[in-house]
Structure 1
Amino acid sequence: MLMPVYYFVIGAFKSRMDIIKHPFSIDLELITTKNFPYAFKHLNYLNAMKNTTIITGFSLLIVVISASLAGYAIARINRKIFQLYYGALVAMMVIPFIGCVIPLTVMSVHLHLYNHLIGCIFIQATWNLPFAIFLFVGFMKTIPKELEEAAYLDGCSTFQVYQKVFLPMLKPVTATCCIRTGVMVWNDYLVSSALLSSNQTPTLMVGVQQFFGSRATEFGYAFASIIFSSLPMVILFLLMQKNFIKGLAAGAVKA
């Protein structure tokens, strides 16, 4: 598991020939940092970072709000239509995304969303929504019904119960959802490469791909660009790891 990480981290500080000759070792005398400024410049890092952050941020916002509301309705409101909807969502989780790329691309062209960040945001959000709802439903089923009943006795409406009883308790599963969805969207290459053809709207993963050519691969530059691309998600996980583990465990109890 750690070997690929070790390989690209040490490779980022080596020349192309040194990587080919000594892939798993590093000579301290041959360490170089020239890969990083080159990768930063040719990756167009700031622009790619901005686009990736916009797509990830808005996708997360849509997913978390929609999943928490849908999760509450499915877990707590006893209506058959919600259970049928939940079954359809769970079934969607087994559909391979690559089979939907062409239809989604055609749809985005007809809706004039092709080569626009908003089209990428909607597709990323809707595709990550089923698993997020699955997590929220499982977590909300673990919350005692007595709390909900007490709120109703105090005169709260259904939405007020959601707002005042459930929302304050959703921190662990929200952290889990944010990390899982954020990593999926941040590291996505397929959707971005299919829907964003302009050089003005690249994402980080699309930018990394430029260092992998059909005739030659600039390994050092590629590894440096991977480090640049990975750092934000690593920092996010370190900040939220306790809630991530707690939410993942709780969400799996009754899902």
Structure 2
Amino acid sequence: MAGQSRIISWSKFLVLVIAVVLFVFPFLLLIINSFKENQVITSDPLGLPSAFRWDNYVSAFTKMGYVSAFGNSLLITITAVVLIALLAAMTAHFFVRHKSRLNQYLFFLMVSAMIIPFQAIMIPLVKIYGSLNLLDNKWSLIYMYIGFGSPLAVFIYHGFIKSIPLELEEAALMDGCGRIQTFFKIVLPVLLPTSVTITVLNVLWIWNDFLLPSLVLTSSEQRTLPLSTFYFYGTYTVDYGPLMAGLVLTLLPVLLVYMFAQKYIIQGVMQGSIK
């Protein structure tokens, strides 16, 4: 029995090591190639660089307009994520606590919107917003993110709010709190684990999104970090070295935030699973 359990433990360990290698290898390959010249990248993409070219990062930082693009990405991501979490929580709470046929219909209509692929509506969407002169505007993009991100958030919040005892809100109302105060002081703090999960999902989606910003934002001053990496694609050539460096610079802020906040993120997810 001891030998069998040892074999099982080593098998699990081996599977975990293989999974880690498969997940980490593409990122390590990206970092290694970000220090190479174009000729070396195309001829030997898996090899180590003979000399580290830090000028790839200098070139990427300059050509991308990194400071401006980083500011745009940060503004769009934070604003959209906060509004998605707040508005979705309020909407889901209203659907749960005010049961009616209309609310059930609206909830199922919102959830069914997740089935529609974005590619099916992106051309009419851009055409309509273009006719209204709402393209090339960060706030239009944020508005779209709220629309596309809210259905899933409402669905997740809806299931969690149903597990919250109604007596908590009734006690707050009896103590003199209004409905808005009850939501922000009682319900919203209880939803913190779910809010952490939704925040992580939306940050990863919005920060790394390329397709929707490429359709909405056209001027260089409005571009986000993923859009700025397109500067390295020429008509007939691709500047691979600075491109790899630009991708590393794009991913770095999210990785740093996760490294410093992973304790709270994991704690929030675990509390949500216990609930």
TM-score (norm 2): 0.83
- Measure how far apart 1:232 and its partner are: 1.7
Letter in 2 for 1:104: L
| Equivalent position to 1:144, from 137, 151, 165 | 165
Q: Aligned letter for 1:218?
A: D
1:188-227 superposed matches below 5 A: 188-227=209-248
**Superposed counterparts of 1:92-241, under 5 Å:** 92-241=113-262
Q: Distance in 1 between matches of 2:149 and 2:218?
A: 22
Matched-pair contact (CA < 8 Å) for 1:139–1:253: no
**Deviation, structure 1 residue 100:** 1.5
Matched-pair contact (CA < 8 Å) for 2:36–2:53 = yes
Task: Answer with 216-225 or 240-249: which moved more.
Answer: 240-249
User: What SS is found at the alignment partner of 1:216?
Assistant: coil
AA matched with 2:105: L
Number of residue equivalences = 253
* CA-CA distance at 1:214 after TM superposition: 4.4
Q: Which amino acid aligns with 2:182?
A: V
CA distance in 2, matches of 1:246, 1:84: 35
Deviates more, 1:237-246 or 1:156-165: 237-246
Partner residue of 2:97?
Answer: 76
Q: What amino acid sits opposite 1:122 in the alignment? A: Y
**1:38 and 2:23 correspond:** no
**Structure 2 residue identity aligned to 1:40:** F
With normalisation by structure 1, the TM-score equals 0.89
Pairwise CA distance, 1:123: 0.9
Aligned to 1:66: 87
Deviation at 1:143, TM superposition (A): 2.1
CA contact (8 A) 1:137 1:251 kept: no
Q: How far did residue 248 of structure 1 move?
A: 4.9
1:1-12 equivalences under 5 Å are: 1-12=23-34
- Could you tell which deviates more after superposition, 40-49 or 141-150? 141-150
| CA distance in 1: counterparts of 2:170 and 2:193, whole angstroms | 23
CA distance in 2, matches of 1:83, 1:248: 28
Task: Write out per-residue CA displacement over residues 69-105 of structure 1, whole angstroms, 9 at most, x where no aligned residue.
Answer: 1121123322232222111111111211122111111
Question: Deviation at 1:249?
Answer: 6.2
Q: Which moved more, 1:156-165 or 1:173-182?
A: 156-165
Q: CA deviation digits over 1:138-170, x for unaligned, max 9?
A: 222232333233324434443332122112222
Relative distance call for 1:194 and 1:57 in structure 2 (3 A) is same
Cα distance between partner residues in 1 of 2:226 and 2:177: 47
Structure 1: give runs of 5+ residues left out of the alignment: none
- Partner of residue 16, structure 1: 38
Instruction: Looking at secondary structure, tell me which structure has more helix per residue.
Output: 2
Q: Taking structure 1 as reference, are residues 240 and 88 closer, same or farther at Cα in structure 2, changes over 3 Å only?
A: farther
Partners of 2:193 and 2:272 within 8 A in 1: no
8 Å contact from structure 2 (residues 76, 138) kept in 1? yes
